[in-house]
Amino acid sequence: MVNIKWFGHSMWKIRDENVSIIIDPFTDIGYKIPQNESSNILLISHSHFDHNNISIIKGNPTIIKDEGKFNVSGVDIQTFSVWHDENQGAERGENLLIKFILSEKSFLHCGDLGHDLENDLVEKIGKIDVLFIPVGGHFTIDARAAKKLVDKINPVIVFPMHYKTPVLDFPIAKKEEYLNLVDNVKEYSTNQIDLEEKDFSKSRTIILSYE
């Protein structure tokens, strides 16, 4: 079993019975800032303020924010350097795609991906069971580009992220722009769910609520 928790924006906590991983903690952008969250591993996709508030995470985690292959607490992690925009970083710099294996499932967090991925990179990334992908546009890929990439990667479960909500005053689109393009959407009124083996039997898009 793997527990997935969404704090808002692109910040997630993924854990099993052995290891906890937090990705892209934000600063004061409107969402409630977590006060007592700890992890074994802290993954940072890029250095912008809404993704790298390292100081709020307790537990003295191992921090990964560079490209490479890593193994931390038995978790295999690989990061891939891409761009935050469509002009090879000229507008917003670099970004990391972050892949890791937990409880025999493969996860990919796209950070603030700003462009389509070449097929050879998609092949290099390999099989993905769970995909966290930005859909709001403006700073990242938009809904249509996200849908195109989801079709390329072909994950089992998709968690859209980095979209407009009532507490986030960013000039980006709401989640509906993406949800209108996909089938098999499941929305939850909670900010976390448990995924068991049976949950990987069919493809779907999952929307969680933030605290």
Is the pTM higher than 0.85? yes
152, 119 contact by CB (below 8 A): yes
User: Which pLDDT value is given to residue 106?
Assistant: 98
Split at pLDDT 50, 70, 90, the class of 86 is: confident
User: Which pLDDT value is given to residue 49?
Assistant: 81
Q: What is the DSSP letter of 55?
A: G
Average confidence (pLDDT) over 164-183: 97
Q: Which domain holds residue 82?
A: 2-207
Please state the φ and ψ torsions of residue 198, each to the nearest 5 degrees: -65, -25
pLDDT, the chain, mean: 95
Average confidence (pLDDT) over 100-108: 98
Count of structural domains, the chain:
1
Residue 88 has pLDDT above 90, yes or no: no
Split at pLDDT 50, 70, 90, the class of 83 is: confident
User: Residue 126's domain is classified under what CATH number?
Assistant: 3.60.15.10
User: Which pLDDT value is given to residue 48?
Assistant: 87
Residue 82 has pLDDT above 80, yes or no: yes
Residue 211 has pLDDT above 90, yes or no: no
pLDDT digits 0-9 by tens, 117-164 = 999 999 999 999 999 999 999 999 999 999 999 999 999 999 999 999
CA count, 13 A, side-chain hemisphere, 20: 15
Percent of the chain with pLDDT over 70: 98
Q: Which of 158, 210, 163 is nearest to 182 (CA)?
A: 158
124, containing H or E segment:
helix 119-125
pLDDT digits 0-9 by tens, 42-76 = 999 998 888 999 999 999 999 999 999 999 999 99
